[in-house]
Amino acid sequence: MSILLRVERKSGGVPIELGNGQTTGFGYTNTSPMDFLAKADNVVHSIQIRGEIPLRLLPPVEPNADHSNTLYAWALTEYRPDNDYYRTVTVRIIRHEKTIREIEFTYAYVQVYQEQVNSMKGVLEFELVIKQRRDQLESIRFGLVKFMKQGSPKVKKDHVTILSSTSKIDKSQNLYAYVSNNSANLIDLGGHGIRRDLNQMAYYNKFLDESLGNQQWAQGMLDSGTYFIDTDNYVQGVYLNFQDLSKRGIDPSKVRDVNAPGINILTNPVVSLEQLEQIGFENVNFDMAVDLNMTLLKYDITTTDRIRHFLAQTYVESNHGSRLTEMYNDPEEEYFSQYDGRNGNAKPGDGSKFRGAGYIQITGRDVYQKFADFIDDRKIVEEGYSYVAEHYAWEAAGYFWSHYKKINPTADKGAEVLLTVSIKVNGENKKGLPNGWKDRQDAYKRVSEIIN
């Protein structure tokens, strides 16, 4: 992905253009209502740009040299009607050779600019915050945007193309859902995929101990809530704010958190949502897919053979993902009493408390205790199966697979060891086969057609 920045002076001349990796970060904030005031300190309608420029590309300081097309010169410009104080700024984000975001401020001015030399990297690092003149908010222009269903970039269905040819921003509409001039065409993106990015919040917080300008900028970003992402229509670096959430009727206190690894998984998953749906898993959603992918990475289940075996076994063990605790037909107490005295179950009721839980149905006090020690969460043993199913459904399976049973080396041998892997997971009956052997064969075949 690349971020291109272009700054043009009203009087003409050579524009400032940064690309080719020189622009490393982008943020856009819109929380201010429009009114007729030309400029005010409380306007929160801004673009934030971070970047780094190789020192070898900086022009030398020479007598009478014209540096008016540099960012620092623009930042030092004092207001006069005819001195290029206001400029046209265009930011374009390109991913896989397609423009996914384009924003143009036609009357932009510098609110914050800072730069520092990183001698180790040989670059000039800079941060720029610009705002649009407040009586010109209606002239902000938004270009072509494509929102992709999260997961696999290869899937072309369910894409929504959002175009903006409007000359005025209707404050009742979500800027990420603009379609032509007609508010009746507004696409309702819903609030189901909203998550709070803890990594973005941490990024703002680190500036609160720096210069006054940085403190004001960072506090403004934190106060406006510019750290929410729409995971259903995820574009890296694009954040929603409190006003966006309010328009969707979302209570910020109800929003769940996700950290940087969770977000990164969206753009480069080991297994995508689409693949899980194609396999036949039920209850597939963003949280489930992120938990799976983080488990795969943590427990080194990342090769094709390992993933195939792991998904085939969890598919059967969890009844296609529909049951995260062990099923039973007999009266509950009678059924689970068969586990008392087995698998480390030493106390009355252990058979029921440590029943199968998670996508691979870990069973017994022994594996529960070892998993609790590994995770360092004593509630796993204190509360038992319901706690594991709710909080560690995928990770319990990953631990069982990689550490408790050490199945990865066996899975590396491919399809020929399906029976061996199945017995390691489920045990064997009097016929020397695991329960649901035919289901496991069918699941492995289906998974192998999708994970390749």
Q: Which domains does the chain have, with CATH numbers?
A: 2-143 (2.30.110), 270-450 (1.10.530.10)
Query: What is the predicted pLDDT for the residue at 37?
Result: 42
Q: Whole-angstrom Cα distance, residue 238 to residue 78?
A: 31
Query: What is the predicted pLDDT for the residue at 172?
Result: 27
pTM over 0.75, yes/no: no
Query: What is the predicted pLDDT for the residue at 46?
Result: 84
Contacts 24+ apart (CB under 8 A), 118-121: 118/52, 121/52
Query: What is the predicted pLDDT for the residue at 244?
Result: 85
Q: Chunk the chain into consecutive blocks of 10 residues (it has 452) and report each block's average pLDDT, rounded to whole numbers.
A: 87 84 82 46 71 82 72 82 83 80 89 86 88 80 45 29 24 25 26 72 81 83 85 72 85 72 64 91 86 87 94 96 88 84 89 93 93 89 93 94 95 96 94 95 97 90
Closest by CA position to 309, among listed 394, 414, 405: 414
- DSSP strand E in 15-97: where? 16-18, 23-30, 45-54, 87-95
Query: What is the predicted pLDDT for the residue at 178?
Result: 23
Return the CA Rg of the chain: 28
Query: What is the predicted pLDDT for the residue at 235?
Result: 66
Alpha-helical runs (H) found in 318-450: 332-336, 350-353, 365-375, 379-383, 385-391, 393-399, 408-411, 418-426, 437-450
Query: What is the predicted pLDDT for the residue at 434?
Result: 95
Q: Is 190 exposed, middle or buried (0-12, 13-18, 19+ CB in 10 A)?
A: middle
Cα torsion through 411, 415, 420, 422, rounded to 10: 90
